[in-house]
Amino acid sequence: MHPILFELPIFGGLPIYSYGVMLGTSFILAWYIVMAIGERDGLKPDVLANAFILAALSAIIGARLLYILTNLSEFDTPASWFELRRGGLVAYGGFLGGFLGALFYLRRAGVPLVRFADVAAPTLALGLGLTRVGCYLFGCDFGAPLSDDAPGWLRGWGTFPHWPDDQGSPAWAHHVDAYNLDFDAHYSLPVHPTQLYESLAGLLMVGLCLLVWQRRQFHGQVLLVLTATYGIWRFLIEFVRDDPERGEAFGFSTSQLISLALVPLAAFFYYDRMKKQRQHPVEVYQLGGPLGTKMASKPEPVDGWKKLAAEDDAEDKPKERPAARTAKKAIKKKK
């Protein structure tokens, strides 16, 4: 564990926290991915840049706000709301906050949200993969204690230290309070390293998003697939998480309740948009092809076969020479 990666030799030593570094790295990589995929999909660079900046800021606000609402007892003063270097963000709050921020801007810009949503979807999964590494380095968002017969390597990855300042890592502090762990213990109980589970899941979801991009059939498909996949994953992983900051109601964590709402909504809109695409096809681009994009489907009228037949007849019909057309017009005038 490395909650502080290094210290800058200013102001008596300025600590640079691992979580903040991973969060910043995820935003930098997301910027390049959004600009690259978005321009290939035909979106203007200025629209992409403005939407990304507003969505990123809104995501941080939403992630922090949901954490504050589910852990009000942790905050003594309003100033403590802004202490983000050590974590304290909720993924779902970030997703919802970013969604609302992008929606606000894109409506004013006259750009459909689903166009930008598909572009941003892989970066959401990448952000999950990277920031969970930051969570692991800091020691938050840990899992439930492992059984005695768990593999030694897994128990090693899931053990968090007692820090020298006697505050302890979040896992160690929780085990002292909830599991009667001796205060002098050098390490926490071995737990599921759920941060690493989620990091791996996030990276796999990046691959899933890119795979869907290569086979995309309608606008919004990538985001809806990610929403449903992450919702199912988050609902299941919550059963082996044990950090007390998650919030709880009706026997479920806050994130599980959000998943129960989002997964059916994603499935409904997926079916609805697929149905509309089949009835009234629109141009949709997929990653791949010679220039990085290729057309998935092309709009055709209901009588498309008649239109094609008419075009074939027109091509087979011999074209009149300009002189012949002029002669015909002259004969009509005399009549």
Segment 137-151, tens digit of pLDDT: 888 888 999 998 999
What's the pLDDT band for 91 if we cut at 50, 70, 90?
Answer: confident
Mean pLDDT of the chain: 81
Phi, psi of 110 (to 5 degrees): 75, 30
Answer yes or no: is pLDDT of 169 > 60. yes
**Could you read off the pLDDT of 278-291 as tens digits, one per residue?**
888 888 887 775 44
Q: What angle do CA 301, 304, 307 make, to 5 degrees?
A: 110
Answer yes or no: is pLDDT of 90 > 80. no
Residue 320 has what DSSP assignment? P
Distances (CA, A) of 326 to 321, 322, 329, 330: 9, 6, 5, 6
The pTM assigned to this predicted structure is 0.78
Distances (CA, A) of 294 to 32, 215, 218, 290, 323: 21, 10, 13, 8, 43
Average pLDDT estimate for 199-223: 94
Average pLDDT estimate for 13-29: 82
Answer yes or no: is pLDDT of 324 > 80. no
Query: Pick the residue with more confidence: 332 or 169?
Result: 169
Answer yes or no: is pLDDT of 221 > 90. yes
H helices of the chain, where? 18-40, 45-70, 91-109, 113-138, 152-157, 170-178, 194-214, 221-237, 254-279, 304-316, 322-334
Percentage of residues of the chain with pLDDT beyond 70: 77
**Could you read off the pLDDT of 107-118 as tens digits, one per residue?**
988 888 888 999
Average pLDDT estimate for 173-182: 89
Answer yes or no: is pLDDT of 5 > 80. no
Which range, of 45-54, 205-214, 314-323, averages the lowest pLDDT? 314-323
Write out the DSSP string of 26-57. Answer: HHHHHHHHHHHHHHHTT--HHHHHHHHHHHHH
Average pLDDT estimate for 226-255: 89
